[in-house]
Chains A and B, each alone.
Chain A
Amino acid sequence: MTDKLSTLAEGFVIVPADNMDHLDQARSDIFKLTREVFKISEMNPSSGFNDFHRHIESCTPGQFNSMRVELIKRITAEVDVSKLVFDAFEETITKLLGPDILAQRGCNLVLQPPGDPNPSELHRDAPANSPYEIVVWVPLVDCYKSKSMYILDVNATNTCLELLEKNPSDWDAFEDHSRRLAHTPSVPYGSALIFFTGLLHGSEINREAETRVSLNIRYKNLFSPSGLKNQLQFFKPLKISNLAKLGASLELKEHFR
């Protein structure tokens, strides 16, 4: 595990939380808001999320989407998800990114009920995001088979992108080839799939009997290139090292010398 993490040879790694208390806190806070927005009486976060689709059976797609948007707004306003997830996986994230860390400000929550016809299509985040970012994908329920997501490792991603470059108008061939080379990892609640933003990934229509509930949050080093994202707008500082503070204070003195 340590070797896989330190080399990040495949571009992704599945790691258990370093501190479950913070992850439990995040799940509990998010479930509380989900219960309020969707009027769910179930008290247990695990069964409440897994059976989420049973509570929205009477919703039209439009109503479901409005409530989903309201939930994400409330989570963003009321729960510091990126901090809680960082605290849960701090050791791992710090090993990958170093001591000066920025976290995405907003919260990306995915609720994917069985049969939802809108999975995440095949794509990669970088470019346009920074290729020095990581995505921390955190399931709030056990995720497996089509309830999980799929991801291509570095070699497979490069192979598929080369194919697309040779046949830029044949998206179907690119997608078919990508899906054949993809991994669909089982990621239990309590672990995270952490990946390099340059990897191709996506999700299938959820064919399992339970809802997928997951978070995805981006982290990057303070000093790494920011891609097309405005760093001050999209990210917030989580950890600034003493060395960065000393360096900044020296620059300030030199600036006004």
Chain B
Amino acid sequence: MKTFYSMIDGRLTSPQPEQHEFLQKKARKEGGEIVFYGAEEYRCFRDQPFILNKLRRTPGVTDVVFFTFEQFCYGDKLNLKLMKEIISSGYGLHFAREDLSLNSLQDIVDNLPVFLAYFYACKQKDSPSHGELLRGIL
């Protein structure tokens, strides 16, 4: 049976129990159980420095499940480097809210146009809307 490390998203207003429920549901769907959980330190959620080291220090974990793909979109670039390192280190990489699983580097390559478009959509969402910008002009 797969054993999952789960990563909640500390930036969202979605309460932790709600996130845990989604994470557990995804882990079970992939034939496993969550055995540990954690989160990135709030001050460095853009760089996600915690998870890879934690996985390497935690024996017996086969997979990691994040609450949302958005956790990889908080920096200036989509964090492809971390995705690649997690998978190259032999872990399965999953996203609960999007019901998405990546088990090989080829999975990343196959989904890349969709991931990049999502990343750009996130950035647009964080920018002031055209309505707000136009209100200053018109």
Is B one of A's binding partners? yes
Give chain A's interface residues, CB within 8 Å of chain B: 100, 102, 222-226, 230-233, 237, 240, 244-245, 247-249, 251-252, 255-256
B125 — which chain A residues lie within 8 A by C-beta? 225-226
B35 — which chain A residues lie within 8 A by C-beta? none
Which of A225, A237, A249, A256 has a CB less than 8 Å from the CB of B114?
A: A237
B124 — which chain A residues lie within 8 A by C-beta? 225-226
Interchain CB contact under 8 A, B100 and A223: no
Chain A residue at minimal CB-CB distance from B123: A225
Q: Within the assembled complex, what's the spacing in Å between the Cα atoms of A64 and B64?
A: 41
Main secondary structure of the interface of B (DSSP, over half): helix
Q: Within the assembled complex, what's the spacing in Å between the Cα atoms of A240 and B68?
A: 23
Interchain CB contact under 8 A, B112 and A222: no
Q: Within the assembled complex, what's the spacing in Å between the Cα atoms of A232 and B113?
A: 12
Does B74 sit within 8 A of A, measured CB to CB? Answer: no
Given contacts A225-B124, A226-B125, A255-B77, contact A232 B118 (CB under 8 A): yes
Interchain CB contact under 8 A, B117 and A231: yes
Interchain CB contact under 8 A, B121 and A255: no
Q: Within the assembled complex, what's the spacing in Å between the Cα atoms of A247 and B81?
A: 18
B118 — which chain A residues lie within 8 A by C-beta? 226, 231-232
A102 — which chain B residues lie within 8 A by C-beta? 114
Interchain CB contact under 8 A, A252 and B112: yes
Given contacts A222-B117, A225-B125, A249-B112, contact A230 B80 (CB under 8 A): no
Interchain CB contact under 8 A, A240 and B114: yes
Q: Within the assembled complex, what's the spacing in Å between the Cα atoms of A252 and B112?
A: 8
- Chain A proximity of B11: nearest CB distance (Å): 14
Which of A226, A230, A248 has a CB less than 8 Å from the CB of B113?
A: A248
22 A-B pairs whose Cβ atoms sit less than 8 Å apart in the complex:
A222-B114, A223-B120, A225-B124, A225-B125, A226-B121, A226-B125, A230-B70, A230-B97, A230-B98, A231-B117, A231-B118, A232-B100, A232-B114, A244-B113, A244-B117, A245-B113, A247-B113, A248-B112, A248-B116, A249-B112, A252-B112, A255-B81
